Chain A
């Protein structure tokens, strides 16, 4: 096992250098990381709790991290490990918010460590966890990049008004993915129910994306979502679920279905579709004519996490513009970090002007955030949406 680990590290270090060479701006920095890790000790250790732990357990979604060319290493993660002489147990454990919540709620409720130092969750789920008192307050004093570089739009959000709990990971634009054949006629949400697509469509289990797009298609505003507009959205989708047009409700796993050809068009997240495109150029993004949904995923530290300090350092790491640029250039989601645009231009000029990474006014007008829900409304909607999926 010892040799195994060593090999793994050697591979990653090589890939870090390779990526570094590709991205001229970060090359010097990464090369420096490559040598600094073993020789210099990390930042001073004021107290027992403020020390870097041997390991930090990070839960994230799939397709949410930069990969090396051979897809075996995660350059920005490896660079963090080298910088802080720690090991990141980075697990793509989150397929959708609800099922992940299902795995952590029991320990958190019991006041136990849920096993994760970082969980990356969508706004409404992050809000629920804060409401339940299950998130650690961040000690921003040693998070200088975060305090300096968090974009202003993420400050003062209703569920975390003074930025005490959440560090946004990425902004997510929800819309449609199609293959080149179906992209010809799939222009909006309603086109997913075209008879030509019978049995070839998947929707997201993420209620706010699927229902949000349905509301837009109905001419309703997701920002003002209420039971009436929700019921109209369900009524739009339900016949196509019953007649088998909709094949599945998925989390990130629509990737597998659409690449394999079992699904021909689906509700999808924009960054995923770009990444799927690296693998299969046949898959393309479609901006629905009626507009897109917008939300963000946020890093938070679950209450009682064993390695809080290292987790804070992890959050802070992704607020270094050059790291954020490296991540964003790969995953292509909206970056919440100031200065990313300038850094990303050094990697790929065209990305700096991509509105889906740095939304311009024209795209911003198309993005729709789902309303915050009262607990009763949330239960009502979750229940009906769950029934729609056969649960």
Chain B
């Protein structure tokens, strides 16, 4: 076998790749094709499903019926991404440049939430943010907040939950790009542009952009598919497209609509990623030249 490979070295990488690729083809690509087919079914579970290209009408129908949830998902995911970015940048900056010997510890705390159960974390926030919970209860009893004030079951709670859960995905890539920056560049810039603010704007920020880019994708993508935060922290008015897909699939057994929605969500995400890459990519190029 080894002798055979020595004669044809070109085969080795293919051989190494084959098992993983075969697995992904069988359990990622093939199911996607199955789902495409299911989105073109008609019928109900009781009567059975039949395939026809004419059922493509399911797509515009589903898009029309669930346009609110789609738009809400995009809005919440975008806001969560911006919130994460705003919160994560200063933290990543501190860890990269100001933390000294605490750097490892701080990095560790950033990823610590991943070591407890995701659901338990969301439920913990549900406890903390409860209408009469730790946070609001005392504020209400001393009269700082009106009795009917609440955070749970509002868009704020859902965006808060999403932001919290994907926050480390934003901090880590930004930290990595900041850490890579050659500090001598910044020092030189401080001399050139006379001032830390300008140096930050002209050197640090542009060089951190790849991290910002990666972090934003890592937050935006899972946020688009979220249903757990919306389910546990939200209300009827905060249902996201993830909730609809989940309940169409698992509760209503409406496979065609659920599959069509999944496909449109996936297409939407890929389009968003592509546009984002184009916009940010060209920007980066320009700042690089300038």
A associates with B: yes
Decide: B132 and A260 in contact? CB cutoff 8 A: yes
Cβ of A347 under 8 Å from chain B:
no
| Given A109-B45, A199-B150, A262-B152, A99 and B236 contact (CB-CB distance below 8 Å) | no
* Closest B residue to A263 using CB positions: B131
A277 to B65, CA, bound (A): 41
Distance from B7 Cβ to chain A, minimum over Cβ atoms (Å): 49
Closest to B131 in A: A262
Which stretch (B162-170, B197-205, B243-251) binds chain A?
Answer: B243-251
* B237 touching A390, Cβ below 8 Å: yes
The reply to whether A391 and B239 contact each other, CB–CB distance below 8 Å, is yes
The tally of CB-CB contacts under 8 A between chains A and B is: 69
A128 partner residues in chain B, CB cutoff 8 A: 46
Tell which of A98, A99, A390 has the most Cβ of chain B within 10 Å.
Answer: A390
Q: How far is the CA of A102 from the CA of B253 in the complex (A)?
A: 6
Within 8 A of A (CB), among B227-258: 235-237, 239, 243-244, 247-253
Known A-B contacts A98-B252, A247-B153, A386-B252; A261 and B239 likewise in contact (beta carbons under 8 Å): no
The residue from B235, B243, B244 contacting A248, defined by CB atoms under 8 A apart: B235
Contacts of A102 on B, CB cut-off 8 Å? 249-253
Contacting pair A105 B253 (CB below 8 A): yes
B286 at the interface (CB under 8 A from A): no
The 9 closest A-B pairs by CB, nearest first: A390-B239, A261-B132, A102-B250, A99-B251, A391-B247, A390-B236, A247-B153, A98-B251, A262-B131
21 contacts between A and B (CB under 8 A): A101-B253, A102-B250, A102-B252, A109-B45, A132-B46, A198-B148, A242-B237, A247-B236, A248-B153, A248-B236, A260-B130, A261-B132, A262-B132, A262-B152, A386-B247, A389-B236, A390-B236, A390-B237, A390-B239, A390-B243, A391-B239
> Interface of B with A (CB < 8 Å)?
44-46, 65, 69, 130-132, 148, 150, 152-153, 235-237, 239, 243-244, 247-253
B44 touches A391 (CB 8 A): no
Contacts of B243 in A (CB 8 A): 390-391
Interface string of A374-391 (1 = CB under 8 A from B): 010001001000110111
Q: Which of A99, A101, A199, A249 has the most chain B CB within a 10 Å cutoff?
A: A199
In the complex, A246 has a CB within 8 A of chain B = yes
CA distance A36 to B150 in the complex (A): 56
**CB neighbours of B46 from chain A (8 A):** 128, 132, 375
CB contacts (< 8 Å) of A200 on chain B: these are 131
In whole angstroms, what is the CA distance A198 to B252 when docked?
A: 29
Confirm or deny: A49 has a beta carbon within 8 angstroms of a beta carbon on chain B: no
Complexed CA–CA distance, A241 and B68 (Å): 15
Contact of B130 among A242, A249, A262, A386 (CB under 8 A): A262
Contact B252–A382 (Cβ < 8 Å): yes
CB distance from B243 to the nearest CB of A (A): 7
CB distance from B102 to the nearest CB of A (A): 38
Q: Is the interface of B mostly helix, strand, loop or mixed?
A: loop
Chain A minimum-CB-distance residue to B252 = A386
CB distance from A190 to the nearest CB of B (A): 19
* Contact flags A213-255 to B (C-beta < 8 A → 1, else 0): 0000000000000000000000000000110101111000000
Looking at the assembled complex, report how far the CB atom of A388 sits from the nearest CB atom of chain B, in whole angstroms. 8
A199 touches which one: B69, B148, B249 (CB < 8 A)? B148
Alpha-carbon distance between A389 and B243 when the two chains are bound, in angstroms: 11
Q: Which residues of A are at the interface with B, using a C-beta cutoff of 8 A?
A: 98-99, 101-103, 105, 109, 128, 132, 198-200, 241-242, 244, 246-249, 260-262, 375, 379, 382, 386-387, 389-391
Assuming the contacts A241-B236, A244-B235, asked whether A99 and B130 have C-beta atoms less than 8 A apart, the reply is no
Distance of A387 Cα from B252 Cα, bound (Å): 12
How far in angstroms is the closest Cβ of chain B from A48? 34
User: What's the nearest-Cβ distance from chain B to residue A125, in Å?
Assistant: 12
CB of A199 within 8 A of CB of B250, answer no
Chain A residues contacting B69 (CB-CB under 8 Å) are 390
B-chain residues with CB within 8 Å of residue A249 when the two chains form the complex = 236
Q: Is the CB of B237 within 8 A of A244?
A: yes
A339 to B130, CA, bound (A): 45
Contacts of A261 in B (CB 8 A): 130-132
Tell me the minimal C-beta distance from A383 to chain B in angstroms: 9
> Is the CB–CB distance between A105 and B45 below 8 Å?
yes
Give the nearest-CB partner of A389 in chain B.
B236
Q: Which residues of A contact B252 (CB under 8 A)?
A: 98, 102, 382, 386, 391
* B64 CB, nearest partner CB in chain A, Å: 12
Closest to A205 in B: B251
User: In the complex the two chains form, what is the Cα distance from A379 to B153 in whole Å?
Assistant: 29
Considering only CB atoms, which chain A residue lies closest to B149 in the complex? A199
Instruction: List 20 extra interface pairs beyond A382-B252, A391-B251, CB under 8 A.
Output: A98-B251, A102-B253, A199-B153, A244-B235, A246-B236, A247-B235, A247-B236, A249-B236, A261-B130, A261-B131, A262-B132, A262-B152, A375-B46, A386-B252, A390-B236, A390-B244, A391-B243, A391-B244, A391-B248, A391-B252
Bound-state CA distance A241–B46 (Å) is 31
Which residues of B are found within 8 Å of A98, using beta-carbon distances?
251-252
Q: CA A102 – CA B45 in complex, angstroms?
A: 10
Contact at B44–A379, with CB atoms within 8 Å?
yes
Q: Which residues of chain B have C-beta atoms less than 8 A from A389's C-beta?
A: 236, 239
Contacts of A246 in B (CB 8 A): 235-236
**Chain A residues positioned under 8 Å from B153 (CB to CB):** 199, 247-248, 262
Which residue of A is nearest B244, CB measured? A391
CA distance A391 to B236 in the complex (A): 9
Tell me the bound Cα distance from A377 to B132 in angstroms.
42
B140 to chain A, nearest CB (A): 11
Distance in angstroms between the alpha carbons of A386 and B246 in the assembled complex: 13
Nearest-neighbour CB distance to chain B for A204, whole angstroms, equals 13
With both chains docked as a complex, state the minimum distance between the C-beta of B116 and any C-beta of chain A, in angstroms. Answer: 20
Enumerate chain B residues within 8 angstroms of A247, measured Cβ to Cβ. Answer: 153, 235-236
| Shortest Cβ distance from residue A255 to the other chain B in the assembled complex, whole angstroms | 15
Give the residues in chain B near A379, CB-CB below 8 Å. 44
